[in-house]
Amino acid sequence: MKDLLPEKSPLWLLVYHTAENIAKAYGFGYMETPILESTQLFVRSLGKATDVIDKEMYTFEDKDGSKVSLRPEATASIARAYINHGMHNRPQPVKVWYWGQMFRHDRPQAGRYRQFHQFGCETLGQRDPVIDAELIAVSYNFLFDLGISTEVHINSIGSLEDRKNYTVELVGYLRSKRTYLCADCKRRMVKNPLRVLDCKEEECRNVIEEAPQIVDWLSAESRAFFMKVLEYLDELQVPYVLRSTLVRGLDYYTDTVFEFYTEKGEEGAQSALGGGGRYDGLIEQLGGRPTPAAGFSMGIERVISELTRDKEGRKEFENPYDGTMQIFFAQLGEQARRRMLRLIEELRRKGILVGSNLAKTSLKTQLELANSLKSTHTVILGQKEVQDGTVIIRDMSSGIQEIVDQKKIEQELRKIIAAK
């Protein structure tokens, strides 16, 4: 646990505002949850056999005899808040971002602290591969905007049923190699077999490299979903590396999982800056309705460490997000969705804020969402516009529509913003 002194605060504030701006650019609303939560919230969501629950949580008995814990992460709290506040009644998906302190009784080492900060985004209420790709793009571009070049490692761990079937096969294999496993992995093999795949000990690496791969146990639906995520990442021009042993450390994850890596520092600090994935069963597990969701978190201390480790070659930070005009993008059809992904990304990098819901397919639904967000203009892209190289810009108050060449869209949107 560390103090933040005045001379260090400018860099922290820069990172905070970068997080705030990138989240706003992608249409996420800010949300806070309590630092103290019921211990059972984390036990039910993270899994009893995880290291976080087993040995890392700060837990206390309250004056009324109930057990409370300092939050070790934020996703469980946001899922709980989604249930408590009836957020399923809002337009779906609900997109929120957060920044705050987390606590884990971790072994002190480079890059790890017992009190640490996380920035994260969560998208709740819809299952669509484009949501997973967007979250990866948000986190990738957060680091990109800070001048940090990273490698996205990605995998699919499938549905709960896929994991159950795979775990049986994995345990059988690990038992045959038990002699070659470290002490921690011998324990994990019984309590949480998938965590063996994440072991960094040299003695376990050869065993892990020869282990059965979860991709071979994915259902047709999970496999198709994952392939779509990768296709959207290609469209967004986000580079990635397929890593079959990536599983993440918490029980609530399903399907897509990902982490962000950069090179190690001189002191050997861990290279993972953050990660996330899909957790379609968590909200129902906590007593809510069946609700698909996905998200990511970024370790701010690790990001700061990377920024201060090597300043050479880093670009000067510029805040491109000065405009506050909310322009909404609506699409019709798969080709239009793919083209719109690229358009939105190009505009965001040029500092133009836009809203969208690429998971929706109905134009009526998207226009209703644009109205609820108080958007003044909606850019509409259908199959015909893709073929013609145009877009339709609709004035939401008058209903007047104008056809614009896609090459001139930035120029036209800047005129709209300037006329606000």
Q: pLDDT band for position 138 (50/70/90)?
A: very high
- The CATH architecture assigned to 6-159+219-309 reads 2-Layer Sandwich (3.30)
> What is residue 322's predicted lDDT score, i.e. its pLDDT?
38
- pTM for the whole thing? 0.84
> Residues 235-248: pLDDT tens digits?
998 999 999 889 88
Q: What is the mean pLDDT of residues 143-148?
A: 92
For residue 416, what are the CA distances in angstroms to 371, 375, 399, 420?
17, 12, 15, 7
Please compute the mean of the pLDDT values over residues 87-110 and round it to a whole number.
89
Residue 109 clears pLDDT 80, i.e. is over it = no
Where in the chain is CATH 3.30.930.10? 6-159+219-309
Instruction: Please write the tens of the pLDDT for every residue from 368-404.
Output: 888 877 889 999 999 999 999 999 999 999 999 999 9
Fold for the domain defined by 327-418: Rossmann fold (3.40.50)
Contact 177, 169 (CB under 8 A): no
Copy the structure tokens of residue 159. 């549905």
pLDDT for 54: 64
Residue 412: both structure tokens together? 């036209």
Residue 48 has pLDDT above 70, yes or no: no
**What tokens does 393 get?**
């810009």
Name the percent of the chain lying above pLDDT 70.
Answer: 91
- For the stretch 253-302, pLDDT in tens is 999 999 999 865 544 444 789 999 999 999 999 999 999 999 999 999 99
Q: Where is the binding site for L-histidine, in residues? A: 73-75, 104, 118, 122, 248, 252-253
Binding region: 73-75, 104, 118, 122, 248, 252-253
Query: Where exactly does CATH 3.40.50.800 map onto the chain?
Result: 327-418
* pLDDT tens by residue, 8-42: 889 999 999 999 999 988 889 999 999 999 999 98
Rounded mean pLDDT, 66-85: 95
